[in-house]
């Protein structure tokens, strides 16, 4: 069969065929998968959109569907909620063949949060949420206490209770997204599908939305979400399914799925995968395609604890000759520096930067055209690195957090950093490449 | 207050309004009759069942010959109103007024359903070609002097239903009927039928005037027979639509959403379309093409009661009845009789533009 997720996705608990992607098959909860996809293929208008998709999604897990535009994410969601029938293959949700069920029965098993769309008619928010009870009501049934309780709980959960009487046409996009989630919650289904739930939201609402889904999953709901933002997906999802050209390219743990080679194959883009310095999640940085390794010059990077990994990858991909340090052996950044072939100064694990290391760093700083200081935490152990960086002609400070939040070296730390800050260029991570480029040109011109 | 109570309250109020409009309208005309006299005539004409007697025997299959109950009517109020007033009100004006009420009721009902169905505030009852279809049937009958078993009305009704079905088939592919395709199929078929009607007009010769009058929408010459026909046709489809108002609400969210909320989308669409087409066809068959009632009345009511079809459908239907009785009263009380379609369009178009400019009509 076509897809090739199996190396990553071990499925020891069942006797399924070897090419079955078992996603997030936690041995403690995976008594029975909530969703089983068995060799599902779909073609729309003569074009194959999904091609032999097989996957098990464990009960009570949060699975992210990722992949480039047109990979089939939305189609897969439509298959899962029964609104589209596959040309071949089967889909079971909670053990039921979803396409054999009536629309009503299916929507008691699966609730869908659509991408926020324009609403033409100005129903009050409460009425929209109430429509979530449709699958539970007969044509001539009145409004029951169960219905009322479900709607109230859903609105409270999504904090839309305060909007209850407002017309749904007059609330913001983020609020409307929450109303649609509330409507899905009112359906009281074991499974929740979300199509790009964060696409039109600002960063605050993105996080709030995914936190809410995460909470629901914690209470036993199974959630499948198509998510564009790989980093949000990596942070919140228990498992990811990477779709490309209608097939599963990889499935399983985010760290496994989000490999540089998978991303290159799926998205046709160069990307760097590292750990996020604050959250510790897998972090993907796409490199601009213009960064075609044609930059010249030498850059020294001061970092530690994973704060410099991205800068190292970005600068290396751009073509700079790199040096780094001083770093403790075993540090994430040390690994990253070795991977990009940087000239690395190291000290033993947990050891402070001694005089020998400091002078080694200083000589590399002097040899470099530009020195970059990452958003590193500074203690007495590595303060020497900053002192060495002061020898640089051209200095760039990457700041994601204020220095005071990452200074453990007291007044001495502040004094050294202030001195660097006066001479250096303070940049955000996204500006790093362009600023280093300018400074390297200046340095070359001298 | 829950929706059912609100709907009942509104319905009661609008029924009272309709009664008032009917009484006032029945008093207006060449001979002016005071409302009190009209009310007395109407009460007089009201048949009230006073008893049941077993008389006659009807042959029924299986059970054989059984005496069936028949109802005895009596007019309870023996009032002394002038005989002329009685004749004018009951025989001349009332059939036309009741027919206007029924046609207005039907067109507004179909308008609500079509606007909800197409999620498009510009939709009206004839959007899928029902009116054009009826017109072709009627115009052909008049212009070619055909004699058909069910006459002009039958021909118009049948051709309307056939047209709706053809448009539906043209708009359907692989068991799905996207509303945009349906809309365009309706436009294309209407254009084509427009050409057919023009051709028939050229062939109509002597009967041209009659044909044009029919096309403009009219209620003059209404008879109790026509009233009975509509009274027989309308209740069932209206009840079906009333039972699907919640589905219509959910369909407003879009078809994908409606499916995710447990609506059998295609089946519900078929049912709504068929039912609304029958309602429209019945109205158009007796009254010709009366525009703007089905477009404007649902809009007015949406402003008042909101978009919820559980309220919107019954209130629009009743308001549509009052609206058409009123406009027809204007149409027949001027110096010369004008077709009511002219009046509804003349009043409806400016009102619609007003709504448009004040942004109350939202584009989808």
What separation in angstroms does the CA of A272 have from each of A113, A242, A339, A427, B26? 31, 17, 12, 20, 83
The CA-CA-CA angle for residues B302, B305, B306, to 5°, reads 55
pLDDT > 90 fraction of chain B, expressed in percent and rounded: 44
Mean pLDDT score, B323-344:
88
What pLDDT does B29 receive? 83
Residues A110, B260: C-beta atoms closer than 8 Å? yes
Inter-residue contact B79 to B43 (CB < 8 Å)? yes
The residue count of chain A comes to: 446
Contact residues, B window 315-354, toward A, CB-based 8 Å cutoff = none
Q: Are B272 and B117 in contact (CB under 8 A)?
A: yes
Q: Which fold has domain B3-42+78-357?
A: ABC transporter involved in vitamin B12 uptake, BtuC (1.10.3470)
CA distance linking residue A93 with residue A189, whole number of Å: 11
Note the Cα A61 to chain centre separation in Å: 16
pLDDT value of residue A185: 94
| Bridge pairing between strands A395-398 and A425-427 | parallel
Lowest-confidence region among A63-67, A259-263, B314-318: A259-263
Q: Is B262 close to A104, i.e. CB distance below 8 A?
A: yes
- Tell me the C-alpha distance between B284 and A392, whole Å: 89
Phi and psi of B105, rounded to 5°?
-55, -50
The tens digit of pLDDT for each residue in A93-106 reads 988 899 999 999 99
Choice between B69 and B295, residue whose per-residue pLDDT is larger: B295
- Inter-chain contact B263–A128, Cβ cutoff 8 Å? no
Q: pLDDT averaged over chain A?
A: 84
User: Start-end ranges of CATH 3.40.50.300 in chain A?
Assistant: 21-271
pLDDT at position B364 is 38
CB atoms within 10 A of CB A88: 11
The C-alpha atoms of residue A302 and residue B258 are separated, in whole angstroms, by 56
Spatial neighbors of B354 by CB under 8 A, at least 6 apart, are none
Contacts A–B by Cβ distance under 8 A: 79
Helix B3-27 vs helix B309-333: angle between axes, to the nearest 10 degrees?
10
**pLDDT the model gives residue A10:** 39
Per-residue DSSP letters for B210-233?
HHHHHHT---TT--HHHHHHHHHH
Does residue A14 carry a pLDDT above 60?
no
* Strand A35-44 versus strand A21-23 pairing type: unpaired
Asked if the Cβ–Cβ distance from A122 to B263 is below 8 Å, we say: no
Strands A298-302 and A370-373 turn out to be: parallel
> Which of A74, A80, A103 best tests the B interface by mutation, with the highest count of B CBs <10 A?
A103
Q: Tell me how far apart the 2 most distant CA atoms of chain A are, in Å.
A: 85
The reported pLDDT for the residue numbered A117 is 64
Contact between B261 and A120 using a beta-carbon 8 Å cutoff: no
Using DSSP, state whether A432 is helix, strand or coil: helix
Query: Least CA distance to A110: which residue of chain B?
Result: B260
Residue of higher predicted confidence among A264 and A112: A112
Mean of pLDDT over chain B: 85
- Say yes or no for a CB contact (<8 Å) between A143 and B2: yes
Instruction: Assess contact for B337 and B331: CB atoms under 8 A.
Output: yes
pLDDT, greater one: B88 or B98: B98
pLDDT at position B264, please? 92
Report pLDDT digits (tens) over A394-413.
Answer: 999 998 888 888 888 888 88
pLDDT above 70 for B25: yes
Among A67-81, B36-50, B56-70, name the one with the lowest average pLDDT: B56-70
Residue A23: what pLDDT?
58
Residue B119 with chain A: CB contacts under 8 Å = 120-121
What tokens appear for A276 in the block? 């996020």
pLDDT category at A29 given cuts 50, 70, 90 is: very low
From the list A118, A134, A143, the residue facing B262 with the nearest CB is A134
For residue range B107-127, list pLDDT tens digits in order: 999 999 999 888 877 788 888
In percent, how much of chain A has pLDDT > 90?
33
Are A106 and B262 a contacting pair at CB < 8 A?
yes
Count the Cβ atoms, other than its own, within 10 Å of residue A277: 24
Give the model's confidence band at B215: pLDDT under 50 very low, under 70 low, under 90 confident, else very high: confident
Contacts of B262 in chain A (CB under 8 A): 102-108, 134-135
Residue B57 has pLDDT above 70, yes or no: no
Long-range pairs, B345-351, Cβ under 8 A, ≥24: B345/B291, B345/B292, B347/B292, B348/B291, B348/B292, B348/B293, B348/B295, B348/B296, B349/B292, B351/B296, B351/B300
Chain A hits for B259, CB-CB cut-off 8 Å, are 81-83, 103, 107
Cα gap B253→B346, rounded to integer Å: 33
Is residue B206 less than 8 Å (CB to CB) from chain A?
no
Q: How far is CA A45 from the centre of its chain?
A: 32
Q: How confident is the model at residue B59, as a pLDDT?
A: 46
Read off the pLDDT of residues A326-373 as tens digits, 9 standing for 90 and up: 898 888 888 888 878 888 898 888 888 888 889 899 999 988 999 999
Please state which CATH number belongs to domain A285-445: 3.40.50.720
The whole-number pLDDT of residue B51 equals: 56
Instruction: Please spell the DSSP secondary structure of A308-324, one letter per residue.
Output: SHHHHHHHHHHT-EEEE
- pLDDT exceeds cutoff 90 at B280: yes
pLDDT of residue B304: 86
Rg of chain A over Cα atoms, rounded to whole angstroms, equals 26
Q: Where in chain A is CATH 3.40.50.720?
A: 285-445
What is the predicted pLDDT for the residue at B78? Answer: 56
HSE-CB at A366 with a 13 A cutoff on CA atoms is 9
Cβ contact A21:A4 at 8 Å: no
Name the more confident of B177 and B148.
B177
pLDDT (0 to 100) of residue B43: 80
Decide yes or no: CATH 3.40.50.300 for domain A21-271. Answer: yes
What is the DSSP-derived secondary structure letter of residue A100?
G
Interface test with A, best of B173, B260, B265, B266 (most A CBs within 10 A): B260
- pLDDT category, B178, cuts 50, 70, 90? confident
* ipTM of the complex, rounded to two decimals: 0.80
Number of H helices, E strands in chain B: 16, 2
pLDDT at position B63 over 70: no
Q: Does A131 touch chain B (CB under 8 A)?
A: yes
- Helix B94-118 and helix B235-243, axial crossing angle in degrees, nearest 10: 30
């Amino acid at each position: 069969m076509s897809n090739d997720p199996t190396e990553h996705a071990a499925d020891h608990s069942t006797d399924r065929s070897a090419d079955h992607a078992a996603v997030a098959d936690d041995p403690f909860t995976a008594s029975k998968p909530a969703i089983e996809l068995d060799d599902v293929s779909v073609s729309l208008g003569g074009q194959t959109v999904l091609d032999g998709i097989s996957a098990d999604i464990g009960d009570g897990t949060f699975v992210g569907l990722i992949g480039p535009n047109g990979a089939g994410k939305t189609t897969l969601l439509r298959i899962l909620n029964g609104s589209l029938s596959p040309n071949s293959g089967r889909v079971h949700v909670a053990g039921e063949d979803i396409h054999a069920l009536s629309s009503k029965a299916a929507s008691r098993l699966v609730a869908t949060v659509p991408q926020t769309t324009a609403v033409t008619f100005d129903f009050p928010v409460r009425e929209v949420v109430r429509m979530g009870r449709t699958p539970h009501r007969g044509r001539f049934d009145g409004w029951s206490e169960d219905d009322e309780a479900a709607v109230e709980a859903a609105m409270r959960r999504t904090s839309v209770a305060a909007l209850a009487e407002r017309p749904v046409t007059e609330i913001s996009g983020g609020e409307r997204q929450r109303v649609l989630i509330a409507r899905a919650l009112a359906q009281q289904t074991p499974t929740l599908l979300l199509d790009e739930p964060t696409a039109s939201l600002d960063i605050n609402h993105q996080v709030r939305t995914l936190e809410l889904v995460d909470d629901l999953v914690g209470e036993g709901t199974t959630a499948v979400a198509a998510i564009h933002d790989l980093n949000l997906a990596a942070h919140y999802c228990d498992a990811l399914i990477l779709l490309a050209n209608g097939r599963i390219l990889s499935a399983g743990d985010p760290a496994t799925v989000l490999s540089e080679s998978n991303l290159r194959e799926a998205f046709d883009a160069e990307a760097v995968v590292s750990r996020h310095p604050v959250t510790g999640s897998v972090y993907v940085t796409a490199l601009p395609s213009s960064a075609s390794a044609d930059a010249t010059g030498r850059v020294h990077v001061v970092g530690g604890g994973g704060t410099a990994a991205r800068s190292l990858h970005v600068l290396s991909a751009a073509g700079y000759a790199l040096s780094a340090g001083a770093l403790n052996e075993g540090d994430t950044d040390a690994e990253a520096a070795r991977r990009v072939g940087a000239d690395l100064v190291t000290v033993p694990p947990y050891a402070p930067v001694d005089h020998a290391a400091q002078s080694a760093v200083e000589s590399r700083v002097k040899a470099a055209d530009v020195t970059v200081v990452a958003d590193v935490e500074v203690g007495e152990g590595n303060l020497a690195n900053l002192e060495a960086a002061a020898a640089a002609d051209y200095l760039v400070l990457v700041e994601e957090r204020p220095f005071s939040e990452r200074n453990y070296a007291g007044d001495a730390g502040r004094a050294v950093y202030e001195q660097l800050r006066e001479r250096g260029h303070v940049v955000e991570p996204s500006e790093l490449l362009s600023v280093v480029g300018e400074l390297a040109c200046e340095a070359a011109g001298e | 207050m829950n929706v059912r109570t609100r709907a009942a309250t509104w319905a009661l109020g609008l029924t009272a309004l309709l009664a008032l409009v009917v009484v006032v309208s029945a008093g207006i005309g060449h001979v002016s009759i005071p409302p009190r006299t009209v009310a007395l005539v109407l009460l007089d004409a009201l048949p009230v069942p006073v008893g049941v007697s077993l008389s006659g025997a009807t042959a029924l299959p299986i059970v054989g010959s059984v005496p069936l109950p028949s109802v005895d009517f009596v007019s309870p109020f023996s009032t002394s109103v002038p005989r002329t007033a009685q004749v004018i009100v009951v025989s001349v004006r009332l059939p036309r007024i009741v027919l206007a009420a029924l046609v207005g009721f039907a067109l507004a009902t179909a308008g609500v359903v079509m606007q909800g169905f197409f999620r498009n505030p510009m939709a009206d009852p004839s959007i899928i070609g029902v009116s054009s279809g009826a017109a072709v049937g009627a115009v052909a009958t008049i212009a070619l002097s055909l004699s058909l078993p069910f006459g002009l009305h039958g021909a118009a009704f049948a051709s309307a239903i056939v047209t709706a079905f053809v448009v539906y088939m043209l708009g359907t592919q692989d068991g799905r009927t996207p509303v945009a395709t349906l809309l365009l199929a309706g436009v294309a078929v209407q254009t084509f039928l427009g050409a057919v009607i023009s051709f028939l007009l050229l062939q109509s010769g002597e009967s041209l005037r009659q044909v044009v009058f029919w096309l403009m929408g009219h209620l003059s010459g209404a008879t109790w027979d026509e009233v009975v026909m509509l009274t027989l046709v309308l209740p069932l489809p209206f009840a079906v639509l009333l039972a699907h108002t919640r589905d219509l609400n959910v369909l407003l969210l879009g078809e994908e959403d409606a499916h995710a909320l447990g609506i059998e989308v295609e089946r519900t669409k078929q049912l709504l379309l068929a039912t609304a087409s029958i309602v429209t066809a019945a109205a158009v068959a007796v009254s010709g093409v009366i525009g703007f009632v089905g477009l404007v009345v649902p809009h007015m009511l949406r402003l008042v009661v909101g978009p919820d079809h559980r309220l919107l459908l019954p209130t629009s239907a009743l308001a549509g009845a009052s609206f058409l009785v009123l406009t027809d009263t204007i149409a027949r009380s001027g110096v010369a009789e004008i077709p009511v379609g002219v009046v509804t369009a003349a009043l409806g178009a400016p009102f619609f533009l007003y709504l448009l400019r004040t942004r109350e009509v939202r584009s989808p």
